[in-house]
Structure 1
Amino acid sequence: MPVRPLPNHPSLENLRKQAKRLLDEIRAGDAAALARVREFHPQPPTAQALHDAQRVLARGYGFASWTRLVQHLEGVDRFTWDPSAGEPPMADADRLVRWACLDYGRWQLADLDGARRLLAEDPALARANIYTAAATGEVETVRS
């Protein structure tokens, strides 16, 4: 069997469930599960334990161990933002910069109307920091 890619939004909880299900299949003598063990476990165990199923699952996804898979998921989770879940929490000054500037690395274009509304509600945001000053054209604040 070839190594499978992780799903688009992998969750550790789901992978734990997969490992438990695989362990149940191994214990039941499922031929496909036993074939996965033979392929992905360096020394197929005689006693089936959860850590063996986790190792087989991790290696099936291309990781050397369950620990490496978990570390990967933790790293990905730390730097992932799902735009369908809404904006991450942020300060108004950060939101102003995000809305006022086009950012090719983001999922959404600039929201100039939102930036204008935010600035109208709190004009002091234009001078909150160098970034808001630059985004709103506050030349004197940028110079100082």
Structure 2
Amino acid sequence: MSIIRSGTYTITTFQSNMPVGRSPREDTSTRPKPIIFSPDVGSSPTVFRIVVEDGPFARIMARNDPTAAIGGFVCAVPGRDQNTGERWIIRPAGPEVFMITRQDGTAWALDWDSKQIMLAPMILAKDNEDEASANAFPASQAFFIRRV
């Protein structure tokens, strides 16, 4: 795993029945669908972007105003997906990983693989539990982050 590179990324959903972890480039029958993220702080709903700085920080940016960060350097940015009404919290989880946590306690981890950042579905481990249920969600809920 390499250090996340600086740059701006946009999160889109990837609707497919492929196993989680396979590249979206392998399936040409689907099209990514943007997550319309409405932060609890900020104004109108927007397709949110993560601007990755060198190091373990990210800024959540408004799609129509690349200079306006939502929440600045984030420890946690709460909000909801306008398509589904689902609530999310976006936060850094380490120098190479970011985490999007849903209201129900499940989470998606962002990781860098040199071409894209992928949100692989996982369930937050409780206490000393391992991540045996890491692939509990169907691939239709997988997310991929592409560099803009």
TM-score by length of 1: 0.19
More helix by share: 1
Rg larger for: 1
More strand by share: 2
